[in-house]
Structure 1
Amino acid sequence: MLIEFSVGNYRSFKDKVTFSMVAANIVAKDKQLDDNNVFAVDDELKLLKSAAIYGANASGKSNLAKAMNFMKWFMINSSKETQSTEKIRVEPFRLSTETETQPSLFEIVFLLNNKKYRYGFEANQERVVSEWLFYVPNKRETRLFERVNNGNTDKINLSKTFKGEGIHPKTRRNALFLSVAAQFNVEIAEIILNWLTTKLQIVSGLEDKNYLDYTIDSLSKEDSSKREIVQLIKQLDLSIKEIKLIKSIIHGNIDYLFTIIKTGHNKFDTEGNSVSIELFDLDSQESEGTQKIFFIAGLLINTLKEGKALIFDEFDARLHPLISKAIVTLFNSNETNYHNAQLIFMTHDTNLLTNKLFRRDQIWFTEKNKYGATDLYSLVEFKIRNDASFESDYIKGRYGAIPYIGDLSQLFGEPDA
């Protein structure tokens, strides 16, 4: 389970951005929101099943998803897919003389095998400056390892529990010790990277076609996932009565087998009676919205069934607001999300901004401050009435995080005489 994610320019930077899925100590207007949208890890920790992040264009919503995606990629691949001369793909905050030369910070807090872990690192384009891993085996946080840079050399303080002796000399300056440790079969490192690979998915709604294979793979199996995907697509009112997978071969120097999805629609006679099923090609004859639902259907079902965390940028792109709401409701429900999967999404869809769908701690905003840096804050920070209209107040600017549009009436000036 994902608990928190932080990103900033260095560890002491006061404007470090932290996003949290920890439930606040509040009571929702509708008690059903508390019963469905929150789950208890133990007596002290409760987590949210979903969260929405709003903000104007260029306010930093997508950058948060990109930072998470980079952190995931670097943790998994820095020891095996980079060379010693490659630069690390971090970019300092360039609008401040204080931070433009400072390393970038990334930290993630998560639950794995009923234990809480906190892992992070600082890096510039040349090297990993520091790295740390802590966990809570019982009640107190305990260090597993900590890497510090002393000039041109690294020092790594290891606990006996981590069992990573002898690996430090094999760790390049532009690679993470955790990634190298996993390559050398250190069990804790392997478990963490396996969780990261299999349980944390980061998706862009502008590139969701890349996830069609999830759906095709599930539809190819005669199991419950196939039935659930078909049921989901049918229930979303797409007028699709049947789904067929057609395998085709492209002949060339190397024959290539690929799968085409066909969607079945009712064909009617002059009396309005259904007489047959007409097959359409998903790629060329269905709308972009219908295509997107197919792209992400397998991913959504898999996330819910496996209790994963899904971070979805541009969530509402090409989706009707009612379909977006239906997907969020799948996560905010004990009936359909009994494994406590988590959905975190970036959106402009204000139809979802309602206290009938979300608690206040599930709604977040991004806004650029006067220095051009992103502020991230939750609706729970505002004192508002229980019956407040989140959507109306947001559009009115009460919570910030909206574009301030200038006077466009004189855009083209006076017409020529």
Structure 2
Amino acid sequence: MLIEFRVENHRSLRDEQVLTMEAAPLGDPKDPRPRQVDGHAERLLPVAALYGPNASGKSNVLAALAFMQDVVLSSHRSWDPEGGVPRDPFAWGEHAVKPSMFEVTLLLDNVRYQYGFVVDNDRFLEEWLYAWPKGRKQTWFEREGDEFTFGEHLRGENKTVQQVTRTNSLFLSTAVQLKHEQLMPIQRAFRFFSSIRRGPKQMVFTRWWLAGVLQRSEAAKRQLRLFENDPEVAHFIERDDRDSLLELLQAADVGIVDLKVTDGDTLDSHFRSSRSTSSILVKHRSASAEAWLPLEEESQGTLGLLHLAPHLLRALREGQLLIVDELEASLHPLLAFALVQHFNDPAKNPRNAQLIFTTHDTNLLGTTLGEPPLRRDQVWLTEKDEEGATRVYPLTDYKPRKEENLERGYLQGRYGATPFLGELVPPPGAESSR
């Protein structure tokens, strides 16, 4: 499980920001939502929700975690050895050239780990991995520039891996890619990053736009085709996961009763690419036996749910971390409400999967749909200062009372992180600002 994530100088996250999944000492001590897990003294939360105005930096928190995942998985295997580091620091001022820092604290197999690195545009400046088996800290390795220090508990081909670790690749990434059996313990930290599930951001299009695209843009056709043939969805349909995917869709009441993967010949020629690919068809509740439609015919909401579903189901089944940007883009408020409840319920989420998402859906804070599924310490807020730097802070900083209506308080700006609304549309007859 993720215990804590720290980031500094990534996109609008100019200064160090911290997102913790540790439960705060509040509410009913018998509340089942926080999990007491062996290996960590504090209870851990399965859900965190990020709220804030548009362009306040909510998505950048998830983007920072996703960037860290990409670096760990790909820096040794895929990056150009002479290409530096494709990072995205704060856009202006001295921070545009200052290093960036990323760090996670994890609980894996009942052992706490802390892994992180510091990086600039050219190379990794620092990297570290610590472990706390039986509660005692062990230094597994530390890297500073080209100098490496290995602890006695990390045995094996450390020097060999060090020699082939490029200045723009991580030691962790290199060690796992080289598959040294003696370095198997280090794979526990790597495995966390490989298991992070990312919910897709919804592609938005309408029929009139699509009709124009099909006439004008081959690139857009390929993009549409890629979206239609989501490999995650196709995998679930073709394997034995299909039943669980159908159960979720039927529970969501979107009218889909079956799915199948076919070759491209069954679709309209507009959707054919230059090479043979599989396509996804969906069957709707109908008296007709031929009620099959191409996936792209579905509504925006159904597409969002269908493309989120495989990531959601795998995270719950395997106890993984799922990050979703703009949860309300994929789910009806009732579904989002039920999803948060599902992750928070130990009986329905016995593997302690975690969900971190951004949203504007205030139903999750209020009592409109029932008892709020989110605890006060599961709510995080983002806002920008005058220079465009994002601040991330927990709702608990404002010490809201247990009986306080969080939805009303948030919308009234009691906790900050709400937009300052000017005149959205000038009144008729108003002079132009030009």
Common topology (TM > 0.5): yes
Runs of 4+ more than 6 Å apart:
251-255
Cα distance between partner residues in 1 of 2:98 and 2:343:
39
Please tell me whether the aligned partners of residues 264 and 278 of structure 1 are also in contact (alpha carbons under 8 angstroms): no
SS at match of 1:138: helix
1:89-116 deviation per Cα after TM superposition (whole angstroms, max 9, x unaligned): 223324443x333100000111222211
Please tell me whether the aligned partners of residues 50 and 381 of structure 2 are also in contact (alpha carbons under 8 angstroms): yes
Report the CA distance between 1:318 and its aligned residue: 4.5
Name the residue aligned to 2:149.
157
> Is 1:352 matched up with 2:364?
yes
Which of 199, 210, 214 is 2:232 aligned to? Answer: 214
Cα distance between partner residues in 2 of 1:350 and 1:210:
31
Equivalent residue runs for 1:215-234 within 5 Å = 215-222=233-240, 225-234=241-250
> Is 1:84 matched up with 2:76?
no
1:165-206 deviation per Cα after TM superposition (whole angstroms, max 9, x unaligned): 232222211111111122232223333223321x21123423
SS at match of 1:85: coil
Letter in 1 for 2:81: S
Please tell me whether the aligned partners of residues 204 and 315 of structure 1 are also in contact (alpha carbons under 8 angstroms): no
Please tell me whether the aligned partners of residues 51 and 345 of structure 1 are also in contact (alpha carbons under 8 angstroms): yes
1:341-360 deviation per Cα after TM superposition (whole angstroms, max 9, x unaligned): 11110111111113621111
Name the residue aligned to 1:189.
186
Label 1:100 to 1:212 Cα distance change in 2 as closer, same or farther (>3 A).
closer
Cα distance between partner residues in 1 of 2:46 and 2:273:
49
SS at match of 2:23: coil
Extract unaligned runs of 5+ from structure 2: 205-226, 267-271
Name the residue aligned to 2:54.
57
Name the residue aligned to 1:6.
6
Please tell me whether the aligned partners of residues 265 and 278 of structure 1 are also in contact (alpha carbons under 8 angstroms): no
Q: Structure 1-normalised TM-score?
A: 0.86
Cα distance between partner residues in 2 of 1:414 and 1:294:
46
Equivalent residue runs for 1:193-342 within 5 Å = 193-197=190-194, 199-206=195-202, 209=227, 212-222=230-240, 225-240=241-256, 242-250=257-265, 256-267=276-287, 276=288, 279-342=291-354
Q: Which stretch shows the higher mean deviation, 168-177 or 210-219?
A: 210-219
Name the residue aligned to 1:141.
137
> Is 1:371 matched up with 2:390?
no
Which of 166, 170, 173 is 1:172 aligned to? Answer: 166
Percent identity at matched positions? 33
* Number of aligned positions between the proteins: 393
Please tell me whether the aligned partners of residues 49 and 331 of structure 1 are also in contact (alpha carbons under 8 angstroms): yes
Cα distance between partner residues in 2 of 1:167 and 1:7:
27
Name the residue aligned to 1:272.
none
Report the CA distance between 1:9 and its aligned residue: 3.4
Name the residue aligned to 2:108.
112
SS at match of 2:199: strand
Letter in 2 for 1:308: Q
> Is 1:18 matched up with 2:18?
yes
Extract unaligned runs of 5+ from structure 1: 268-275
Report the CA distance between 1:87 and its aligned residue: 2.3
1:202-246 deviation per Cα after TM superposition (whole angstroms, max 9, x unaligned): 234236958943233223234xx3332222111112133x20314
Please tell me whether the aligned partners of residues 61 and 346 of structure 1 are also in contact (alpha carbons under 8 angstroms): yes
Equivalent residue runs for 1:120-139 within 5 Å = 120-139=116-135
1:137-185 deviation per Cα after TM superposition (whole angstroms, max 9, x unaligned): 1212221111112xxxx11111132231232222211111111122232
SS at match of 1:367: strand
Cα distance between partner residues in 2 of 1:409 and 1:124:
43
SS at match of 1:52: strand
SS at match of 2:232: helix
Cα distance between partner residues in 1 of 2:97 and 2:383:
23
Name the residue aligned to 2:223.
none
1:50-100 deviation per Cα after TM superposition (whole angstroms, max 9, x unaligned): 111001111111111111111111111111211221021223324443x33
Report the CA distance between 1:395 and its aligned residue: 0.6
Name the residue aligned to 1:270.
none
Letter in 1 for 2:152: K
Q: Structure 2-normalised TM-score?
A: 0.83
Cα distance between partner residues in 1 of 2:401 and 2:36:
26
Comparing both structures, which one devotes a greater share of its residues to strand? 1
Letter in 2 for 1:82: W
Report the CA distance between 1:390 and its aligned residue: 0.8
Cα distance between partner residues in 1 of 2:63 and 2:424:
32
SS at match of 2:291: strand
Letter in 1 for 2:362: T
